[in-house]
Amino acid sequence: MVPDSGAAARVDRLRPLNQPRPVRVVVSDTTGEPVALIERGQRRGVERIEDRWVIEDEWWRQPISRSYYRVSLSDGGLRTLYHDRADDTWSTQNE
């Protein structure tokens, strides 16, 4: 464990994720990875998957099974998406 430095937390150094919100995601038929998302009635293509990771946790209670994707969109935006594999839904958590 690291000892408490006594330094105050600084807002300019924190980057919490917002609450997740549902989003429609179009996935590749072959890989199952996101190729586009639909927000406010507009289709936004995924240019590149910057990062991907999987969370498997709490199998002894209510399991969490999610595939996360950090994606660059065709309009230059960035999104963190996740696919909840337990209930087959997609959400976005923007920074």
The whole-number pLDDT of residue 62 equals 78
pLDDT at res. 15: 54
pTM of the model: 0.76
Residue 92 CB coordination number (10 Å):
19
Handedness of CA 16, 21, 27, 32 (dihedral sign): positive
* pLDDT the model gives residue 13: 57
